[in-house]
Amino acid sequence: MPRFSSTPDLDLLFRPRSIAVAGASTNVDSPGHDYLESLKAQGFTGPIYPINPRAEEVAGLKAYPRLADVPGQVDLVISCVPASAVLELVEHCGERGVRFLHLFTGRFSETGDDDAANLEREIAASAAARGIRILGPNGMGLYHPAGGLSFRPDLPTESGSVAFLSQSGNNAVEVITRGNARGLKFGKVANYGNGLDVTPGEMLRYLADDPETSVIGAYVEGVPDGRGFFEGLSAAAAQKPVVVHKAGRTAAGARSAASHTAALAGAAELWSTVLRQAGAHEARNQEQLLDLMLGAALLPRATGRNIAVVGGGGGRSVQSADACEENGLTVVPLPDDVREKVRERAPQLAGWIGNPVDQSILAGSGLSSNGLLELMLQSDRYDLAIANVGEDWFFGRPDAGDRLKHACNRLAEICEKSPKPVAVVLGATETSNREHRQLVDDVRDQFTTRGIAVYPSVERAAFSLGRLTP
């Protein structure tokens, strides 16, 4: 199937000046209605044209019977028409000089049906002949808050510099909402579904040089053009951090990928090698993807692997040490310069205290975890740090809420002024005590608002720091 050999200007895909929605629907529980509501919710500033032969108005917008009836230029058409109506739509797009056609429409090659796969190829050929680029089919399409684009009405309107490419729309929703709750602000997101024409490799090449993008994530089930993907990935990873979650690694996963996006998924080991050679970070699941994107977006790069760990009781200290060492970080013992400073302020602890710092032995000493963290970050011996908040300890004390907020505020100040990366560990809010749950939520939101990277477990913090440190 014909492809463009050089990277086209995908800017227009993410910044169309006008959009038509083919298959616009008055049914509020349908995609043909959702796309209109989504564009309105994101404040798309250009004209939006619902195409519907039977309605005067859809979602409060004046509707047009056919694309030919639309008064102005159309840069992007979003298709919610059935698969059988797409060939005709491509013709109409050609007549109106439409440059980009996003096919939300599915039921093509992913169904495993030969006729459907043939139709998909016909569509590709017809679009190519007319100079129309296709995103999809079988993909949820675009989210770009700065350009007013969205594929769901409930996605955040705040814009940032994290780009994400996804072969699965629902997966992108999860990544955007879960990432956003942790402080990841997204810019350009594209769901490319079957990847018939605009490929992930092509989008990676575009994002490599995109000044709006500082970190790139990708969810890939399979790629239509292996070489193009590798080239795009290498180009992007040379410019900015790229994290790739490759799914469909197992036989059953590959079978499922084929019926999801008609993707040809490959062997896990081969993919790991490819990602490493391209300079990308590999994530094995969505959690790792989010954790690595978060670290890449919010934390400075460490210049070495010697880690300081503070906070939590003795058990957490032991677990933190295991997690760090098992992720390739070195938990170096407390150096003499720090120990001397401890001796000045709490002589009885100087011989006992270690790295990780066990918070429970500090009680009444005049030294806090935060104080120790500051001393350790000042030492040349340490390149990066993990700070366990240890909220469960606070909940056993009087005035738990005030103390927790005070300690977290102090910790946030240390994180903000540190040139070395500090990952904060704050529990997963798994408690049946609603008051405690709320407190942890509030404190986490505080960190997140200040742009501090918070991980729900020390293992996940150590994993991310271990992978992101060169």
| Contacts (CB under 8 A) with a second copy, residues 175-194 | 177-178, 180-182
- 273 is a site residue for a second copy (CB under 8 A): no
- For a second copy, how many residues bind (rule: CB under 8 A)? 88
Of 102 and 246, the one with the shorter C-beta distance to a second copy is 246
| Residue among 66, 287, 343, 365 that touches a second copy (CB under 8 A) | 287
Cα–Cα distance, 370 to 310 (Å, whole number): 8
Q: Does 75 bind a second copy (CB under 8 A)?
A: no
Instruction: Write the CA distances from 401 to 261, 353, 392, integer angstroms.
Output: 48, 27, 11
Is residue 132 close enough to count as binding a second copy by CB under 8 A? no
For residues 188 and 146, what is the distance between their CA atoms, to the nearest angstrom?
9
When binding is defined by CB under 8 A, the residue of 2, 82, 112, 328 that contacts a second copy is 112
Measured from the CB atom, is 71 or 328 closer to a second copy?
Answer: 328
By CB under 8 A, name the one of 130, 240, 445, 451 that touches a second copy. 445
- Binding track over 312-351 against a second copy, x by CB under 8 A: xxxxxxxxxxxxxxx---xx-x-----------------x
15, 24, 25, 34: which one binds a second copy (CB under 8 A): 34
Measured from the Cβ of residue 411, the count of other Cβ atoms closer than 10 Å reads 24
When asked if residue 167 is in the footprint of a second copy (CB under 8 A), the reply is yes
CB 43 to a second copy: min, Å: 18
Interface with a second copy, residue 285, by CB under 8 A: yes
Residue span binding a second copy (CB under 8 A) among the ranges 46-54, 66-74, 84-92, 167-175: 167-175
Q: Tell me which of 18, 79, 126, 166 binds a second copy, using CB under 8 A.
A: 166
Structure token digits, residue 84: 């059988």
Instruction: Give the whole-angstrom CA distance, residue 26 versus residue 50.
Output: 10
Cα–Cα dist 261/322, whole Å? 40
Q: Does 169 bind a second copy (CB under 8 A)?
A: yes
Based on CB atoms, which residue is closest to a second copy, 133 or 246?
246
Binding range to a second copy, per CB under 8 A, among 5-13, 48-56, 58-66, 168-176: 168-176
Binding segment toward a second copy, per CB under 8 A, in 255-263, 375-383, 406-414, 417-425:
255-263
Question: Using an 8 Å Cβ cutoff, are 384 and 366 in contact?
Answer: no
Shortest distance in whole angstroms from residue 155 CB to a second copy: 9
Q: With respect to a second copy, which residue has the nearer C-beta, 168 or 370?
A: 168
Give strand ranges (E) for 144-195. 162-166, 186-191
Q: Is 466 an interacting residue with respect to a second copy (CB under 8 A)?
A: no
In terms of residues, how long is the chain? 470
Peptide bond into 145 cis (omega under 30): no
Per CB under 8 A, the list member of 5, 28, 114, 419 interacting with a second copy is 28
- Which phi and psi angles does 335 have, rounded to 5°? -75, 165
Q: How far is the CB of 334 from a second copy (least distance, A)?
A: 11
Among positions 68, 72, 360, 417, the unique one binding a second copy when judged by CB under 8 A: 360
Region from 96-104, 120-128, 284-292, 369-377 binding a second copy, contact rule CB under 8 A: 284-292
Backbone angles phi, psi at 45, to 5 degrees: -90, -20
Q: If you search the block for the tokens 């239509």, which residue do you land on?
A: 224
Structure tokens, 384: 């990066």
Residue 178 and residue 156 in contact, taking contact as beta carbons nearer than 8 Å: no
Q: Select from 81, 195, 102 the least CA-distant residue to 144.
A: 102
Distance between CA 421 and CA 425 in Å, rounded?
A: 13
Q: Are 120 and 108 in contact (CB under 8 A)?
A: yes
What residues have CB less than 8 Å from 144, skipping those under 6 apart? Answer: 14, 15, 150, 187, 188, 189
Window of 54-62, 249-257, 336-344, 377-385 that interacts with a second copy by CB under 8 A: 249-257
Per CB under 8 A, the list member of 14, 108, 164, 219 interacting with a second copy is: 219
Q: How many CB atoms lie within 10 A of CB 373?
A: 25
Q: How far is the CB of 443 from a second copy (least distance, A)?
A: 14
Distance CA 426, CA 387 (A): 9
